[in-house]
Amino acid sequence: MSRKILVTGASGWLGIAIVQALLARGDQVVALDLRSSPASLALATRHPELTLAEADLGEWSQVVDVFKAHGPTAVVHTAAIVGVVLAADVPIKTLRVNTEGSINLFEAMRLHGVKRVVHLSTEETYGDFTAPVITEDHPQKPNSVYGLTKLAAEHYGRVYTDRYGLECINVRTCWVYGPNLPRARVPKVFIDAALDGTAYHLTAGGDLAVDQVYIDDTVAGVLLALDKKNHRFDAYHIATGQAPTIDDVARFVREFVPGANVSTAPGLYLHGDRFPTARKGALDISRARQELGYSPQYDLRAGIEKSILEARAERTAKRAGGIGP
Ligand SMILES: NC(=O)c1ccc[n+]([C@@H]2O[C@H](COP(=O)([O-])OP(=O)(O)OC[C@H]3O[C@@H](n4cnc5c(N)ncnc54)[C@H](O)[C@@H]3O)[C@@H](O)[C@H]2O)c1
């Protein structure tokens, strides 16, 4: 039976990268999002095996209509209100999309006999890390609206797995970075400043140690989780297993962009200058290595170098009037 993968949040940053990776290996793809993006519209013109489905995951009837119309065989679920600050500003909408939307998805899967979903989850479901390196068994006590709604989606998945035989697999990734990251976060803020020739000084949080994973490695981990025949576990860390500091990020940017005026100061890292971060660290990736054969290709230094190369290429293309990614 040919595979037809439904990707929710397919216009989003990780969603479109996953769509591209699935198309590249010959899968049929249904790309669900509130609206198709210029990038997904462009992809659809080149790939007849890509179908665009505009639907609101929070609306049950729209979700089930997508299943009726397109008959997916498996799901990669990335749609969400993403980020600690954004979610805190719209807590009810976040509950509706991240949690209720996930339930709508699981119900539609149950009714249409679709078993496998890989849910993009997050280290925010843990709250404060109690050790510098944590495994998937670490207690999940989120202290953000975002983390709480993502944890609820994970738990609903467990109920649907136990009761209805779904296979809801959670890929817990950490701070993903790479070209075109859609939010003002490191390393993007440092790289943009460095390439613009402006200064960027982070006034606190330089000593925050956090696992940062290059987007290609996250996408590779998602596909491995999607493809594995029988899962012994329902959660995997797809990260690097290391926790460099934010100051390391600035240091690598200075190394690859000579003259870059980017720096940090120690102290409490604030999300969006407002919300103190939970205590972070590294996500142990032994389980993903052993069970999925996951092997990240980029440590932070290599990922920063690649991000800078990509950002430079994008700027050159824009200046030349070409089309960016
Ligand atoms: N980017 C990261 O660093 C990171 C880290 C850990 C986990 N994640 C998880 O990865 C997933 C994707 O993150 P991202 O960075 O690509 O975010 P993103 O904001 O770029 O993408 C999310 C997509 O979901 C779509 N969406 C929102 N509400 C919807 C609705 N009601 N119906 C249908 N679509 C809707 C948005 O339109 C958007 O295209 C999320 O589930 C997030 O929790 C991301």
Same domain, 149 and 263: no
Q: Is residue 290 part of a domain?
A: no
Distance from the first to the final alpha carbon of the chain: 32
Closest by CA position to 263, among listed 173, 154, 189, 212 = 189
* Amino acid 2: pLDDT: 73
Distance CA 10, CA 79 (A): 7
Could you report the per-residue pLDDT of 187-199, keeping only the tens digit for each? 999 999 999 999 9
CATH number for the domain that contains residue 247: 3.90.25
Distance between Cα 219 and ligand 1 center (Å): 14
- CB 99 less than 6 A from any atom of ligand 1: no
Q: Where are the alpha helices (DSSP H) in 165-199?
A: 188-196
* Amino acid 32: pLDDT: 98
Total domains present in the chain: 2
Q: Is residue 291 part of a domain?
A: no
- CB 324 less than 6 A from any atom of ligand 1: no
Measured CA to CA in angstroms, residue 212 lies from 110, 208, 209 at distances of 34, 11, 9
Could you report the per-residue pLDDT of 268-325, keeping only the tens digit for each? 999 998 999 999 999 999 999 999 999 999 999 999 999 999 999 999 998 887 554 4
In the chain, pLDDT over 70 holds for what percent of residues? 98
Same domain, 83 and 232: yes
Q: Is residue 285 part of a domain?
A: no
Q: How confident is the model at residue 262 (pLDDT cuts 50, 70, 90)?
A: very high
Q: What is the pTM of this model?
A: 0.97
- CB 182 less than 6 A from any atom of ligand 1: yes
Average pLDDT, the chain: 96
* Amino acid 76: pLDDT: 99
20 pLDDT more than 60: yes
Out of 14, 76, 188, 271, mutate this one to test ligand 1's pocket (max ligand atoms within 8 Å of CB): namely 14
Same domain, 23 and 143: yes
Q: Is residue 325 part of a domain?
A: no
- CB 9 less than 6 A from any atom of ligand 1: yes
Point out the ligand 1 atom lying closest to the alpha carbon of residue 119: 41
CATH number for the domain that contains residue 169: 3.40.50.720
Same domain, 135 and 255: no
Could you report the per-residue pLDDT of 96-149, keeping only the tens digit for each? 999 999 999 999 999 999 999 999 999 999 999 999 999 999 999 999 999 999
Same domain, 225 and 308: no
Residue 28: which H helix or E strand, with range?
strand 28-33
1 pLDDT more than 60: no
Report yes or no: 138 and 129 within 8 Å, Cβ to Cβ: yes
Distance CA 275, CA 144 (A): 9
Distance CA 137, CA 28 (A): 34
* Amino acid 208: pLDDT: 98
Q: Where are the alpha helices (DSSP H) in the chain?
A: 13-24, 38-46, 60-70, 84-89, 91-94, 101-112, 145-164, 188-196, 215-227, 246-256, 286-292, 300-319
Distance CA 169, CA 225 (A): 7
Same domain, 200 and 77: no
Distance CA 253, CA 192 (A): 10
Q: Is residue 103 part of a domain?
A: yes
Report yes or no: 173 and 294 within 8 Å, Cβ to Cβ: no
Q: Using alpha carbons only, give the angle 22, 25, 28 rounded to the nearest 5 degrees.
A: 55
Q: Is residue 273 part of a domain?
A: yes
Q: Mean pLDDT across the stretch 181-186?
A: 91
* Amino acid 16: pLDDT: 98
Could you report the per-residue pLDDT of 25-54, keeping only the tens digit for each? 999 999 999 999 999 999 999 999 999 999
Could you report the per-residue pLDDT of 304-314, keeping only the tens digit for each? 999 999 999 99
Sheet bearing 50-54, strands edge to edge:
50-54, 28-33, 4-8, 74-77, 116-122, 167-173, 235-238
For 131-171, give the secondary structure using H, E and C: CCEECCCCCCCCCCHHHHHHHHHHHHHHHHHHHHCCEEEEE
- CB 56 less than 6 A from any atom of ligand 1: yes
Q: How confident is the model at residue 259 (pLDDT cuts 50, 70, 90)?
A: very high
- Alpha-carbon torsion 276, 277, 279, 281, what sign? negative
* Amino acid 325: pLDDT: 43
The SS3 of residue 26 is coil
Same domain, 102 and 87: yes
Distance between Cα 66 and ligand 1 center (Å): 19
Out of 78, 151, 168, 174, mutate this one to test ligand 1's pocket (max ligand atoms within 8 Å of CB): namely 78
180 pLDDT more than 60: yes
Same domain, 222 and 261: no
- CB 15 less than 6 A from any atom of ligand 1: yes
Q: Is residue 49 part of a domain?
A: yes
Q: Classify burial at 67, counting beta carbons within 10 Å of its beta carbon; exposed 0-12, middle 13-18, buried 19 or more.
A: buried
Compute φ and ψ for 254, nearest 5 degrees. -65, -35
Q: Mean pLDDT across the stretch 92-97?
A: 98
For residue 304, give its domain range: 188-210+243-280+298-319
Point out the ligand 1 atom lying closest to the alpha carbon of residue 35: 37
